[in-house]
Structure 1
Amino acid sequence: MTTPTDDGHAPAIALQERRLEPEASDTLIDIEVNESPMPAPAPSAGTLFLACSLILVAFNLRTIFPSLGALLPELKAALNLSSHLASWVTTLPVLCLGLFAPLAPWLARRIGAERTIFCLMIALSVGVALRGAGGLTGLLCGSVLAGAAIAIINVLLPGLIKRDFPHATGVMAGLYAMALLGGAATAAGATMPLEMALGGEWTQALSLWCVPAAIACACWFFQLPRGAAIRRIATPRVRGLWRCPLAWQLTAFMVLQSMYSFTVFGWLAPFLRDRGIPAVDTSLIVSVSILLQTAACLAAPIIATRLPNQSWFNMVVVTLTVVGFIGCLAAPLHSVWFWAGVQGVGQGALTSIAMAMIVLRSGDAHVAAELSGMVQGVGYGLGASGPLLVGLLYEPGGGYARVGGFLVAVGLALLCFGYLSGRQRLVSVKVEPAEGLDPIVIA
C-alpha cells in the first residue's frame, strides 16, 4: 500500500520509495563516510553500550542552559549586566544551535559522524569549563563554543537512532529526549546547591558541568571506527526538502517548541525568584518540573507511534505546556508546584514528540538526516528568539502581562502546526544518485 505524501497524492515515479519501517541496511547520509560496506550489526552487548553512550552524550546537550538560568541573578550582579544584556547572554548558546547545525553533514562526510561527535564532545567540555573563567569574555566565548558543539551533535544523533535502532526508534527517541531533559533537570536542581557549597563561587559552579561532558567523551571514544582509512561511498542526494510543505510545518513546530523549551531553561527560575520564592526552593521546583519532562519524554513517543496520527496528541501536550507555564507566572504561590508539574509533563512530551516527528515523517535514514538538519537548524536558530523576546518583555517586579501574552500567542501557533505536522504523511523528496568518492585517510 502506498503511503500518501504531504500533498495527499500518491508519489510520482521520480520520488523516492517510502517505507514506514526502514530496512536494517539503511545507512545515514551524515554517517556514510564511514566504512563500506556497513559492518554487521553489533552483538547485543555492543548495541547496549552504543545506546548507553548515545544517552550519556545526550545528557550533556542541555546542561548549559538551566545551569546559567539558575545563577542568572548572581551573574548579573557580579558582572554588572543590564536586563537586556542578560537576555543576550541566555540567548547566545541557543542562537548557536541554529547557526552551526548546517555544518553537521559536511563535517560528518569529511571525518565520519562518530569522529565528529567525539571531537565536538571535547569542544563541549572545553566550552563549559571556559564559561566559568575569564569573566564576561569567558562566559560569551565558552557559550559560543559549547553551543556550536551541541548544534552539530543535535543533528547527528537522530540519524544514528534511525540507522542503528531501526526496530526501536520510538523507544530510543524517548530515551534520547529523556536524557536531554535529565541533564537539564540535574543542572537546574544541582547548580545552586553547588554554588552555595563552593562559598558563592558561581564561576566554579558553571565550570563543573564540564566533568560529565568529559566522561561522555571518554565513553564515546569506543564508538570510533577502527583503522585510519575512511571509505567515502556514493550516497544519494535528497532534493526538494526545502520546498516540501510538510517539512516546513515540522520546522515551524520545532521553532515554536524551542521557544518554550529554552524559555523554561533560561527564565523560569528568575521568574519564580522574582515572585518571592527562595533560591533553593526555586531550584527544586524547576528541577522537579524538568524531571517530570524526562518521564513524559520517554512515554510520549511510545504512545504517539501507536496512534493512527499524532495531530490531537500534539494539541494536548501543547495545551498542558502553555497552561502550566502561565500558571507558574500568574497562579497563587502555593499552587506553583502543581503548575510547574503540569508544565513539565507537557513540555517533556512536546520536546520528545518534536524530535520523534523527524523520524516518523522520514521514509528512510537519508531523509531523516537531511530533515534533521533542516528542522533543527532553522528550529533552534529562530527558536533562540523566544528567550530573547521574553527577556526584553520582562520587567522585574512589574508583572508578567506582556510575557504571558507572548507565550499565549506562541501556544496558539503551536496548536496549529502541531495539528498540521501530526497528520500521517511522509515528506515529499526526490532522491538522486551521487557520484563515487575517493577514500580519505585520517591520521
Structure 2
Amino acid sequence: MREKRQARVGASPRLMTGLVLLALVMVSINLRPAITTIAGVMDQIPDVFDLDPALLPLLGTLPVLAFGISGPMGPWLARRFGTGPAVAIALTALAAALVLRATVPALLLPGTFVAGMAIMTASVLVPQIVKANRGTGWWTGLCTMGFGLGAALGAGLVQPLQQSFGGSLAGALAVWAVPALFGAVLIQRTGRRPTAALAAAGKATAAAGDASTPRWDAASSAVVPTAPAMPLRKQRTAWAVTAFFGLQAMLYFAITSWLAVYLVSRGLASADAAALLAWFSLAGLPASLLAPVLASRPAILRWMAPGLGVLVAVALLGVLVAPAELQFLAVGVLGIVQSAGFGLAMALVVIRSAGPQSAGRLSAMSQGFGFAAASLGPLGAGLLHSMTGGWEATFWALAAEAVVLAGAGFFAIRGPLVRVDEVGLVAERDMSTIGVAATNPAAR
C-alpha cells in the first residue's frame, strides 16, 4: 500500500507539469487572434463598422500601443493575486473586449485597445512561468508556437466563420471570446496546485529538515535572498534584449497589419490574401518551436541572433519582388524567419535572466518598451504607403529595420545575465514560484 501511495505521489508532479505546459500553450494561442482576425478582413472594416478609412492605420496600431503602456500590469497583478489568477483575469478581460468591439460599432477602437492591454498582461507572465518551472527550450518553443498557431487560426478562419454566421463579420470576430474563456478557466484551475518543480523543491527542503519553512497562504511570502542587483534600466543586456524584442515585434505587426492589403494591391482576391496571411503564420510554426531549442545551445546562439535579422531583410525583399504566382513561397519563407525571430526573442528573456523574478521583470521591460516602439510599425508602414502611393519604400524601410535587428541580436547575447533581487510576495498557489508549498500541511 505504501509503495502504491508513493507511486501516486510521484506521478502527480509530472501530471501537474504537463497541465501547466498545456495551460501555457492554450494561453499563447489566445494572444494573437484578436489582431490577425482584424487584419484578415481589414478591407471590410470601414463599411461594416462605419469607420473612416483614414483610421485603419490606427486600428492596426492600437493593440500594439496598448502593449507598450500596460507592461507593468502583469507583474503587478501577479504580486497581488498570483500568476495563474493574473493570467486568468487578463484572458477574461480579453474575452469581454472581443465581444464588445464586435457587437457595438462605437466600441471597435476602444475594445481593440482593451484587448491589447489584456494580451500584454498575460504575455509578460509566460516567460516568468517558464523560468520558474525550469522549463527547457522546448517549453518556450511550444509557447511561441502557440502564438503562431493562434495568429494563423485567426487569419485563416475569420472569413470561413463569417460565412458560417450568414455573412456576419461581428459573429466571426466575437466567437474568439470562447477559447479565451476556456484558457482562463484552464490556467486558473492549473494554478491552484504546486507545479512539479515546486513539489520537487519542497521534497528537497523537507529532506534537509529546514525549520524555517514559511507559510504559503495569500499573506505569506517566499524570500529568496540574492546579492543586490543593479536597477534593470542600468543593465545593458536588458536594453539589448528589449531592442531585439521591440524590433522584431515592429516588423511582425507591420507585416500582419498590411500584408493582406499589399497582396490585394498585387491583384489577389481578398480571400486569397487572407489565406496567405494565415500561411505566413502557419509556415513559421516549426521555426517558432525550434528556435528556442536551438538558442539554448551557445554555439548556435552566437550566429543565430544576428543572422536572423539578415534573413528577415532578404525575405521581405523577396515578397516585394516575387510575382503573384510565387507569393505562396515568398510569404512562407518570410513566415519562417519572422517566427524564428519571435521565438528567439522569447527565448532570450529566459536565457539571459538569472531567475524567475528576473525573467518576469525582463519580460515586462522588453515587451513593454518593445511593444511601445512596435506600435510605430503598422502606423509607419501605412503612412509611408499613403505618402508614396506604392509599397517599395515601405518594404525597403522594413528591410533596413531588419538589419538593425541583426545588430541588436549581436549585443543581446553578450554581457552578464540580467539580475534583479529574487525577493517578492508570492501566493501559495502561484504556479510561477519554486518553493516548499508541497511540504506545508496547512496548504493541503
TM-score bucket of the superposed structures, by smaller chain: 0.7 to 0.9
Partner of 1:426: 416
After superposing the two structures, state which structure 1 stretch, 389-398 or 405-414, moved more. Answer: 389-398
| 2:120 corresponds to 1:131 | no
| 2:166 corresponds to 1:203 | no
Whichever residue aligns with residue 159 of structure 1, its letter is Q
Q: Structure 1 residue 190: deviation in Å? A: 0.7
| 2:117 corresponds to 1:141 | no
Q: Structure 1 residue 235: deviation in Å? A: 5.6
Partners of 1:151 and 1:364 in 2: CA distance = 21
For each residue in 1:364-422, what CA deviation from the matched residue of structure 2 results, as whole angstroms up to 9, or x when unmatched? Answer: 22211111111111011111111111111123993212212321221121111112213
Partner of 1:317: 308
3-state SS of the aligned residue for 2:421?
A: strand
Contact 2:244 2:408 in 1 (8 A): yes
Partners of 1:367 and 1:142 in 2: CA distance = 32
Question: Among residues 138, 153, 156, which one is paired with 2:122 in the alignment?
Answer: 153
- Structure 1 unaligned residues grouped into runs of 5+: 1-38
Question: TM-score, normalising length from structure 1?
Answer: 0.83
Partner of 1:31: none
Count residues with an aligned counterpart: 397
Partner of 1:95: 65
- Residues 218 and 337 (structure 1), Cα distance of their counterparts in 2 relative to 1, 3 Å cut: same
- Structure 2 unaligned residues grouped into runs of 5+: 1-8, 194-215, 429-444
- Residues 94 and 42 (structure 1), Cα distance of their counterparts in 2 relative to 1, 3 Å cut: farther
- Residues 410 and 132 (structure 1), Cα distance of their counterparts in 2 relative to 1, 3 Å cut: same
Partners of 1:347 and 1:51 in 2: CA distance = 24
- Residues 390 and 438 (structure 1), Cα distance of their counterparts in 2 relative to 1, 3 Å cut: closer
- Residues 235 and 196 (structure 1), Cα distance of their counterparts in 2 relative to 1, 3 Å cut: same
| 2:40 corresponds to 1:50 | no
Whichever residue aligns with residue 201 of structure 1, its letter is S
| 2:138 corresponds to 1:171 | yes
After superposing the two structures, state which structure 1 stretch, 194-203 or 124-133, moved more. Answer: 194-203
Contact 2:354 2:419 in 1 (8 A): no
Q: Structure 1 residue 108: deviation in Å? A: 1.2
Partners of 2:244 and 2:18 in 1: CA distance = 32
RMSD: 2.6
Contact 1:272 1:329 in 2 (8 A): no
Question: Among residues 361, 368, 375, which one is paired with 1:377 in the alignment?
Answer: 368
Contact 1:55 1:175 in 2 (8 A): yes
Question: Among residues 221, 231, 254, which one is paired with 2:220 in the alignment?
Answer: 231
| 2:177 corresponds to 1:188 | no
Contact 2:315 2:333 in 1 (8 A): yes
3-state SS of the aligned residue for 2:299?
A: coil
Contact 2:357 2:420 in 1 (8 A): no
Contact 1:130 1:141 in 2 (8 A): no
Q: Structure 1 residue 98: deviation in Å? A: 1.3
Whichever residue aligns with residue 306 of structure 1, its letter is R
Q: Structure 1 residue 80: deviation in Å? A: 4.4
Aligned positions of 1:44-443 closer than 5 A: 44-135=14-105, 137-164=106-133, 166=134, 168-225=135-192, 229-234=218-223, 238-308=229-299, 310-395=301-386, 398-423=389-414, 425-427=415-417, 429=419, 431=421
For each residue in 1:233-262, what CA deviation from the matched residue of structure 2 results, as whole angstroms up to 9, or x when unmatched? Answer: 446675422111111111111111001111
- % same residue: 31
Partners of 1:326 and 1:181 in 2: CA distance = 22
Contact 1:294 1:348 in 2 (8 A): yes
Contact 2:39 2:257 in 1 (8 A): yes
For each residue in 1:307-333, what CA deviation from the matched residue of structure 2 results, as whole angstroms up to 9, or x when unmatched? Answer: 326242123322332222332233211
Partners of 2:141 and 2:422 in 1: CA distance = 32
Q: Structure 1 residue 428: deviation in Å? A: 5.1
- Residues 363 and 228 (structure 1), Cα distance of their counterparts in 2 relative to 1, 3 Å cut: closer
Question: TM-score, normalising length from structure 2?
Answer: 0.83
Whichever residue aligns with residue 431 of structure 1, its letter is D
Partners of 1:379 and 1:314 in 2: CA distance = 17
Contact 1:324 1:341 in 2 (8 A): no
- Residues 80 and 392 (structure 1), Cα distance of their counterparts in 2 relative to 1, 3 Å cut: farther
Contact 2:62 2:113 in 1 (8 A): yes
Q: Structure 1 residue 186: deviation in Å? A: 0.7
Whichever residue aligns with residue 152 of structure 1, its letter is T
For each residue in 1:317-375, what CA deviation from the matched residue of structure 2 results, as whole angstroms up to 9, or x when unmatched? Answer: 22332222332233211111111011011011000000100111112222111111111
Q: Structure 1 residue 131: deviation in Å? A: 1.9
Contact 1:257 1:351 in 2 (8 A): yes
Contact 1:321 1:344 in 2 (8 A): no
Q: Structure 1 residue 171: deviation in Å? A: 0.4
Whichever residue aligns with residue 384 of structure 1, its letter is S
After superposing the two structures, state which structure 1 stretch, 180-189 or 410-419, moved more. Answer: 410-419
More helix by share: 2
Partner of 1:34: none
